[in-house]
Chains A and B, each alone.
Chain A
Amino acid sequence: MIGLEIHCQLTNLQSKLFCSCKANYREFEPNTNLCPVCMGLPGSLPRLNQKAVEKASMIAMALNCKTPQRLGFFRKNYFYPDLPKNFQITQLNMYGPTSIGDQGKVSIEGKDIRIRRIQLEEDPGRLIYEGASERTQITLVDYNRAGTPLVEIVTEPDFDNPRQVRIFLNILSDLLENLGVSDPTLEGAMRADANVSIEGGLRVEVKNIGSFHDLEKAIHFELTRQQSLAERGIPVAQETRHWDDKRKITISSRSKEEDEDYRYILEGDIPWVVLDSKSIEKWRGSMPESISSKKERYITKYNIPVQVADVLSSDKYYSDLFEQAHTESNAKEIANMITTDLMGLVDTREKREQSKLSPKHLSDLIEIINNGKVTRSSAKNALQEIVKTGKSVSEIVSQTGLAKISDEGELGKIITEIMSQEPTAVQQARENPQTINYLVGKVMQKTKGTADPTLTLKILKEKIST
C-alpha cells in the first residue's frame, strides 16, 4: 500500500501567505525577499493572503473535497534552522473539519484514490549545505522561500504500485496548471513524500525525494526492500527513511522524527475564516473548465479524436492556444496542427517562454491552407519561422516563397527533371503504382514542400503512363 503527501507551492500568486513579499522567490539573491513578518521578527503578525485561500479552495474543489464551514490555522511547533519562528503555521482538523478541504477523490484507471485532507500552510526557508552534502561543516540558510503559500495534499494509502502514483501525479500536475495556481515545472514547486507498507508490515515514510521520477524509484526500492525482509521473516519497522539521491536507495534516518510531538496549538493571530456558501459558489464559478470537461467537449463538439483531445486538454498551454485560435469550422485542423506540427517546437518551458507564436498565427495558417495558398507541409515550415520570429503569416508567405506551386507548366518542368534523375524509380512506379509516392516525395523535397500535392500526383501519373 502506498500513500502520498504532496506539497504544491501556489507559484502563480503575487505574494507570500502572510505578507506582501514575493511568492516567486526564485529570482532573488539569498535573503533579500524578506520582511519582519516572514522573518518572524519579534512583534510581527501574520496577515492572511485571501487570494491564497481562494486558490487553495479551488484545488480542494477540483479534487472533489468537502469544503469546511470555517478555516482554522494551527501552529506546528518544532525546531529547525530553516523555520524563522520555530513553528510552522499550518492547518489540521483538531476541532472538526477546519482545513481547506477533506474527503476528496481522484479516479485513475477506474480506481478511486481518496484524498484524506488538503491544508494551506507556509513553506519554510531553504538550507544549503556547502559542498552540497549533509556531511559538510557549514550549513547556510536562505529565508527567501519562508512563507511561500503551500498546499499539502494527503492521500489515503490507496495506490497499489508506483505506476498508479505516476499517473496520479501527472493528473495532479496538469490540474494545478489548468487551475492557473501553480507552475509545477518550476524547481521545488511540487514535492512528495511517500508512505509505503506491505501487507502485514508497518508503515515506512520515505522523505527527501527530489523528483517525481525518483519518487517512483524510491517506492519501487522500498517495496522490494520490505518484501525481501518479509521473505526472510524479519519484521518491517515503523520508521522514517531518507532517499539517497546518489545511490538510489532509502536509508533509515535514525532520528526519532516519528516520535516528534508538534504540540499543535491554535494560531490565535489568524481568526477563524468563515467560508460562506456565497464565496464558495463564487470561487467555484470562477474556476476554469476542468480537464475532463474540456476533453469531453473537444470530442463531442468538434469531433476531435480521443488521443488528440487528451493531449490538448491536459496541457494548459496547448488548450489555451486552441481556445483562442479555433472557430467552429477550423477546430479539428487547429487541434491537429497543435498536437502534430507545433508540439516539437514548444515542448519545454524555455521554448514556450521564447516562442513568439500567437493564436492568430494558427488560425491564419489554417486559413491559407484551406484557401489552397500553401500546402500543409509548407505551413509546418512556416510555423517554425513564426515560433522563432513572430512574423505574420502573410509576411512569411510573401518573403520566403512558400506560396504553393500550382502552375501546371512550372510543376511539369520540375517533374520532368526529377524523372530524368530517377530512372529506376520511374520504372518501378510503372510496374507498381504504389511506389509513385517516392517520386512525389522527391518533388516535395525539391520544392521545399510548396508543390501542390494533388497536382503533382496527377502530372506524375500522366507522365509515367506515357
Chain B
Amino acid sequence: MSLAISALEYISNVKNGTTTAEEFIAKTLDRISKHESKVHAFISINENALEQARAIDKKIKSKEKVGAFYGMPISIKDNISVKDGKTTCASKMLQEYVSPYDATVVTKLKSQDAILIGKANLDEFAMGIATEFSAFGPSKNPWNTDYVPGGSSGGSAASVSALECVASLGSDTGGSVRNPASFCSVVGLKPTYGLVSRYGLVSYANSIEQIGPIARRVEDVALLLNHISGRDANDNTTIDGKNQDYLGEIGSGIQDKKIGVIKEMSRGAGLDKNVESAFWRAVDSFEKLGAKIEEMSLDMVEFTVATYYVLTTAEAGSNLSRYDNIRYGYQMDLEGYEFKSYISKARKNFGPEVTRRMILGGFVPSAGFAGKYLLKALKVKSKLKRQVLEAFKKFDFLISPTVPILPFRFGEKVDDPLAMYMADINTVTANLTGVPAISVPFEIHNGLPIGIQIHANTLQEKQLLQAAYALQGTTSLPGAPL
C-alpha cells in the first residue's frame, strides 16, 4: 500500500477494503516519525489518531454511516483552532494556548470523519513566505531540504508533499497557500473571500484572508472545498456559495475558454528566467487544450505589494494587540510594571517579522498618516478590484506564474524584507480583490518546483478547478525525492 495516493483513491481503497483507516494512519505516522527530523512540517501531532482510525474502521465494518473522508489524514495549519490541542500560530505568545473550541472548518472535517493528523508549521501568525519566522524552527522543502518550502503555510504544503498526510488546510492572506504549494509542487487554492468560514482562523489581516485546501491533486482540492465551504452563522462575512459540487464535471475541459495573461506578472525584471520560460510553456499547454489566449494588462498591479503591506499591517496591528500576555501567553511576572510598560515588555515575545509588521501597523492608520497610507491603500484596492472585475467581463481566467522566483535557500531573503515582500507580487491581487486563485504544479527545474497560478471571477471556483484539472492533465510530475 502506497501513501502516494490521492484523496479519491484513498476513499475508494477504504470503501472497497483494499486498506483500512488504521493501516493507512499507522503507515502515515511511521512516515512522519521517519521524516519529521528532516522536514519539520508539524508543530504537534494528534496522539489519538490511531484510536480515531480504529473507531472509523469499526463504523465501516458494522455498516454504520461513515463521513465522506473515511479516516483520511489531513493536517491543519496551526493558526486554525482545534479544540483541546495547542493552537500556537508558531508564536511564543501562544505556545501554551489551548483552544476551547473548534474552527468551523475543523467541525466540518471532523463530522465527515477526517482524521486531523497534526498541526502544521507556519511563519509566526502567518507572516512570511518561507516558514523561517516560525518560533519553533523552519519547515524544509521536501524537494531539497536546503531550500525553503514557501510560506506562510509551509508546514501544510511540506506535509502534503512529503506524504505525511493526504491533504491540508492552510490560510492565504497574500499567497500563503499558493506560494508554498508552488514551492512544494502541490495544489493550493485561495477561495473567494467569504466562501469558507474563518471562524476559528486566528486573524492576521481579516478583511482579505481565507482558509484554503492544499493537496497533491486538483480533484482532492475540489473534494475538500465541497466539505469546508458554505455560509456560517459564526462568520458574518461568509457568503452563499450555492452548495456547488466542485468535484462533479471537473473534467469538463477548457475548450474555447478565454484566458488573459497578466502582463505585469508574467514579464519583466523581477521574474526569474526559468520561471518565465516554464510559464510560457504552460501558456502553450492551455492553448493546446483549446483555450483562447490573450495578453492583457492590469496596471494597478504595480501598486499592489505596497497596498497589501499597508492594509495587512494596519489590520495585524489591531488583530494582534490582544496578545498582551494577560489572558494567555507564557508566564511573565507582572510585579512592578505599570500597565503600558508591561505591555511593551510582553510584546517583546513577538518574533522579528511580527514585530516589524506591528510597528508598521501602528504607524499606517495613525492620526496624520492614515490619509497618506491607509486611505490611499484602500483607494488602490477598490480601483484594482474594478479593474479585475472589468477584466472578467472579457476573460474566463487570468493567469501568471504563482511566484516570480524559484524556491530559495534558507537565510537568502530573511535580511532583505523588501525583496522578500516583492515575491508576493503575483499572489496578493487575488486577496485584495477577493477573487479565487489556484496554484497548479507545472514543472521541476533543477529539482525545484514551479507552479502556475489561475484566477477566476468571484465564486467561479467550479470553472477554476476545471481549468486547473485540465492543466494538471498535461503534466506528469514525480513526487518529492525524500
Say whether A associates with B: yes
Using a CB–CB cutoff of 8 Å, the interface residues on chain A facing chain B are 36, 39-48, 75, 77, 79-81, 84-87, 261, 263-266, 268-271
Residues of A within 8 A of B297 (CB): none
* Contact of B202 with A43 in the complex, beta carbons under 8 Å: yes
- Min CB gap B149→A, angstroms: 24
Judge whether B274 is part of the interface by a CB distance below 8 angstroms: no
Please count how many residues in chain B sit with their CB below 8 Å of the partner chain's CB atoms: 42
A79-B343, A87-B321 known; A43-B237 Cβ under 8 A: no
A47 partner, pick from B234, B326, B343, beta carbons under 8 A = B234
Q: Is B439 an interface residue (CB 8 A)?
A: no
Residues of A within 8 A of B365 (CB): 263-265
Chain A to chain B contacts (Cβ below 8 Å), 7 pairs: A42-B203, A43-B201, A43-B202, A47-B234, A79-B340, A84-B322, A265-B314
What is the CA–CA distance of A47 and B321 in the complex, to the nearest angstrom? 20
Which among A42, A44, A48, A271 has the highest number of chain B CB atoms within 10 Å? A42
Q: How far is the CB of A292 from chain B (nearest CB, A)?
A: 37
Q: Does A43 contact B362, Cβ atoms closer than 8 Å?
A: no
Partner of B198, one of A45, A48, A77, A87: A45
Q: Are B327 and A263 in contact (CB under 8 A)?
A: no
Name the residue on B nearest A37 (C-beta). Answer: B234
CB pair A84 B101 closer than 8 Å:
no
Chain B residues with CB under 8 A of A42 = 81, 87, 89, 94, 97, 99, 202-203, 322
In the assembled complex, which residues on chain B have CB atoms less than 8 Å from the CB atom of A45? 198-199, 206, 234-237
Q: Complex Cα distance A270/B206, Å?
A: 10
Q: Is the C-beta of B207 less than 8 angstroms from some C-beta in chain A?
A: yes
Give the distance to chain A from B312, nearest Cβ to Cβ, in Å: 11
Given the complex, which residues of B lie within 8 Å of A39, measured CB to CB?
327
With both chains docked as a complex, state the minimum distance between the C-beta of B378 and any C-beta of chain A, in angstroms: 8
Q: Which residues of chain A are near B81, meaning CB under 8 Å?
A: 42-43
B324 to chain A: closest residue by CB:
A86
Complex formed: what's the CA distance from A77 to B321 in Å?
A: 8
State how many angstroms separate the Cβ of A182 from the closest Cβ of chain B: 25
Residues of A within 8 A of B112 (CB): none
The 0/1 profile, CB within 8 Å of A marked 1, for residues 296-324 of chain B is: 00000000000000000011011001101
Find the A residue at minimum CB distance from B197: A45
- Judging by beta carbons under 8 Å apart, are B199 and A85 in contact? no
Q: Are B374 and A43 in contact (CB under 8 A)?
A: no
Task: List residues of chain B with CB within 8 A of the CB of A268.
Answer: 206-207, 237, 315
Min CB distance, A128 to chain B, in Å? 15
Q: Per-residue CB proximity of B98-136 to A under 8 Å, as 1/0?
A: 011101000000000000000000000000000000000
Cβ–Cβ < 8 Å partners of A86 in chain B:
321-322, 324
For B89, what are the chain A residues with a Cβ–Cβ distance below 8 Å?
A: 42
Q: Which residues of B contact A77 (CB under 8 A)?
A: 317-318, 321
Q: Does B80 touch A at the CB level, under 8 Å?
A: yes
| Beyond A77-B321, A86-B322, A264-B365, 11 extra complex contacts between A and B, CB < 8 Å | A40-B322, A43-B198, A45-B234, A45-B236, A47-B234, A85-B321, A261-B366, A263-B367, A265-B318, A265-B374, A269-B235
In the complex, what residue of chain A is closest to B314 when comparing beta carbons? A265
From B200, B317, B324, B327, A43 is in contact (CB under 8 Å) with B200
**Minimal Cβ-Cβ distance residue in B for A143:** B327
A80 to B327 Cα, complex, angstroms: 12
Contact of A263 among B199, B233, B322, B366 (CB under 8 A): B366
Of the candidates A77, A265, A270, the one having the most CB atoms from chain B within 10 angstroms of its own CB is: A265
CB neighbours (8 Å) of A43 from chain B are 79-81, 87, 99, 103, 198-203
How far apart are A42's CB and chain B's nearest CB, in angstroms?
A: 4
Instruction: Collect the chain A residues with CB atoms within 8 Å of residue B367's CB.
Output: 261, 263
User: How near does chain B come to A270, taking the closest CB pair, in angstroms?
Assistant: 6
**Which residue on chain A has the smallest CB distance to residue B235?**
A45
User: Which residue of chain A is the closest to B100 with respect to CB atoms?
Assistant: A36
Q: B204-231 toward A: CB 8 Å interface, digit per residue (1/0)?
A: 0011000000000000000000000000
> Which residue from B236, B322, B374 sits with its C-beta under 8 Å from A269?
B236
**Closest A residue by C-beta to B374:** A265
Docked-complex contact B207 and A266, CB < 8 angstroms? yes
Minimal Cβ-Cβ distance residue in B for A262: B367
Complex CA–CA separation, A39 to B103 (angstroms): 16
- A79 and B320 CA atoms in complex are apart in Å by 12
Kindly supply a per-residue 1/0 record for chain B positions 360-375, scoring 1 wherever the CB is within 8 Å of any chain A CB and 0 otherwise.
Answer: 0010011100100010
Residues in A neighbouring B362, C-beta threshold 8 A:
263
Q: How far is the CB of A214 from chain B (nearest CB, A)?
A: 26
Most buried by B among A48, A77, A80, A263: A263
- Would you call B200 and A263 a contact (CB within 8 A)? no
Q: Are B99 and A46 in contact (CB under 8 A)?
A: no
B71, chain A: closest CB distance, angstroms: 26
In the complex, what residues of B have CB within 8 A of residue A264's CB? Answer: 365
A263 touches B318 (CB 8 A): yes
Bound CA–CA A25/B235 (angstroms): 24
CB distance from B419 to the nearest CB of A (A): 28
Most buried by A among B202, B206, B327: B327
Please indicate the chain A residues that have their CB under 8 angstroms from the CB of B80 in the complex: 43
Contact with A along B62-75 (1 / 0, CB 8 A): 00000000000000
The answer to whether A36 and B101 touch across the interface, beta carbons within 8 angstroms, is: yes
Indicate if the CB atoms of A270 and B203 lie closer than 8 Å.
no
How far does the Cβ of A52 sit from chain B's closest Cβ, in whole Å? 14
A86 CA / B326 CA spacing, docked (Å): 11
Complex alpha-carbon distance, A84 and B367, angstroms: 24
A266 to B326, CA, bound (A): 25
A80 contact set on B, CB distance < 8 A: 339
Residues from chain B with a CB closer than 8 A to the CB of A48 are 236
The 8 closest A-B pairs by CB, nearest first: A268-B207, A86-B321, A42-B202, A43-B200, A263-B365, A43-B81, A85-B322, A261-B367
| CB-defined contacts of A263 to chain B, threshold 8 Å | 314, 317-318, 362, 365-367, 370
B97 → chain A, closest Cβ, in Å? 7
Q: Which residue of A lies closest to B81 (CB)?
A: A43
Query: When chains A and B are docked, how far (Å) is the Cα of A48 from the Cα of B207?
Result: 16
Q: How far is the CB of A122 from chain B (nearest CB, A)?
A: 14
Question: Which B residues lie within 8 Å of A265 (CB)?
Answer: 314-315, 318, 365, 374
Are B318 and A271 in contact, with the CB atoms below 8 A?
A: no
Is B206 touching A79 in the complex (CB atoms < 8 A)? no
- In the complex, chain B residues whose CB is within 8 Å of the CB of A79: 321, 324, 339-340, 343
Cα distance A85–B339 in the bound complex, in angstroms: 15
Cα–Cα distance between A46 and B94 once the two chains are bound (Å): 21
Question: Which residues of B are found within 8 Å of A270, using beta-carbon distances?
Answer: 236
